[in-house]
Amino acid sequence: MRQAGVLPARAGEPAVARRPGRPRSERAERAILDAALELFGESGVAGVCIEAVAARAGVGKATIYRRWPGKEDLLLDALSLLKSPLPEPAGESVREDLVAMLRVMCQDATDPTRMRRYALLLGEGEKYPRILQRYKQNVVEPRREVIRSVLRRGIASAELRPDADIEVAVAMLTGAVMSQGKHYPELIPADYPERVADHVLLGLAPR
């Protein structure tokens, strides 16, 4: 049974605690997040302020402050939209679960708007290291943990060898998509998720 006031997390996303009170409009909330993300894409972290977000989203500042205590928390929630939710692992096949997740990652990597904003986030990290660190902790790490859970299950089910290096495997899986998306997004073919999974799993297979 989930705790009252806590929204269930999608795979790769942390649960979001809701403050008590009347339900808020999901449409308004999404408009706020989209506005913050658009402003970030146009002017970086410095371009995101509560007043500008409220004006672009068509809401009052009080509506934003009821949901987010300040600019940083709002921006982090908006930046989480740079990555699509990973599918919930079915738990029947390590390969199928990895391919499903890689497919979502590849779709994001071929989206030029997402990639431009993600590159901007990495660049802004030098000026705003706290925001980048929180992004890695709150967005990236939960997604990596979903992949780890699939690999750990594969070791337990003997689909993968017992001494498989999970951290290296995660880096290979995610890195294959990130590198290709950064340099050659137009060269990501439809079967790329299967190819990446098969090559990584070849090295992790029981001997």
* Residue 10 located in a structural domain: no
Residues 52 and 101 in one domain: no
pLDDT-derived band at 5, boundaries 50, 70, 90: very low
pLDDT in the model for residue 13: 52
Residues 108 and 191 in one domain: yes
**Residue 166: pLDDT above 70?**
yes
Beta-carbon contacts of 193 under 8 Å, excluding residues fewer than 6 positions away, are: 98, 99, 100, 102, 103, 105, 106
Q: Are 163 and 106 in contact (CB under 8 A)?
A: no
pLDDT in the model for residue 28: 92
Number of domains in the chain: 2
Residues 190 and 96 in one domain: yes
* Residue 3 located in a structural domain: no
pLDDT one-digit tens code per residue, 59-114: 999 999 999 999 999 999 999 999 999 999 999 999 999 999 999 999 999 999 99
**Residue 135: pLDDT above 50?**
yes
* Residue 180 located in a structural domain: yes
Phi/psi class of residue 166: alpha, beta or left (left: φ > 0; alpha: ψ in -120 to 50)?
alpha
Residues of the chain with pLDDT > 70, as a percent, come to: 88
pLDDT in the model for residue 186: 84
pLDDT one-digit tens code per residue, 7-45: 444 455 544 444 444 445 888 999 999 999 999 999 999
Residues, the chain: 207
Residues 186 and 98 in one domain: yes
**Residue 3: pLDDT above 60?**
no
8-state DSSP, 129: H
Predicted TM-score (pTM) of this structure: 0.82
